[in-house]
Structure 1
Amino acid sequence: MAIEEAPQTTDELAAASVEPRAARRYPVAPGVRLNVRSGPGTNYMLIRVLTYGARVPINCQSPGERVTGPYGTTNLWDNIGNGEFVSDAFVNTGSDGYVAVRCA
């Protein structure tokens, strides 16, 4: 097993800090086709519906309408894309609180 060396020079450190990392994706509750909304609530426009077995990135989280789902009742909504939100009550994050920064 090879051991990877840490960057040593300033240029190597700068390059290492900007390398893209794979975004973590969280599973949507089994058997759920989840509605994607334009904002953090069911009163926002329906943009699309995710397929069964979908996994979503969480870019940021926002408080919004309180919703009950397989993972409890919450007012947290997950931003999964530009202007796309899903209720955190349907996403298995392993937490009842924020797992990402709060949306600006």
Structure 2
Amino acid sequence: MAKVFGLTRKSILKGWPLVGLIGVGLTVVALGYGGATGNIETTGCRVVVQGDQVTVRSAPSSSASPVATIPGGTEVEAETIVDSGWRRLAEGDRWVPVDSVAATSGSRC
């Protein structure tokens, strides 16, 4: 059986060598998600209002109370949450119809 750094295949898959392999794997995953660089964003989702304006509602329903209006062309922070055709905006219970906004370039919505 071939040895790598004095370890056989069986000895790599148990004890401290296994802990080391798991640690390397978790580090790679963390770097892939930006955890070691501080680049993790809370949402990473920005949308732009389509049309003349959109009414922001307090819940994902057209019968929910209107809380604001946003003019067309305005970019706002949003969340990745979509419920029954409504997208949740950042900062509180604020919802807009999903077809009234579009993700901006580079957004992760």
Q: Same fold (TM over 0.5)?
A: yes
For residues 25 and 38 of structure 1, the distance between their equivalents in structure 2, rounded to whole angstroms, comes to 19
2:48 touches 2:75 (CA, 8 Å); kept in 1? yes
Please tell me the root mean square deviation across aligned C-alpha atoms, in Å: 2.9
Query: What secondary structure is seen at the aligned counterpart in 1 of 2:36?
Result: helix
Hey, what does 2:48 align to over in structure 1? Answer: 27
Q: Could you say which structure has the higher helix fraction?
A: 2
The alignment-based identity, stated in percent, is 19
Deviation sequence 1:14-62 (CA, Å, 0-9, x none): 532x4343823121114x2110000111110111111231123331111
Hey, what does 1:80 align to over in structure 2? Answer: 89
Scaled by the length of structure 1, what TM-score is found?
A: 0.55
Q: Please tell me whether Structure 1 or Structure 2 has the larger radius of gyration of its CA atoms.
A: 2
Scaled by the length of structure 2, what TM-score is found?
A: 0.53
Hey, what does 2:20 align to over in structure 1? Answer: none
Q: 2:75 aligns with which of 49, 52, 55?
A: 55
Q: Note the residue ranges of structure 2 that are not aligned, 5 or more in a row.
A: 1-23
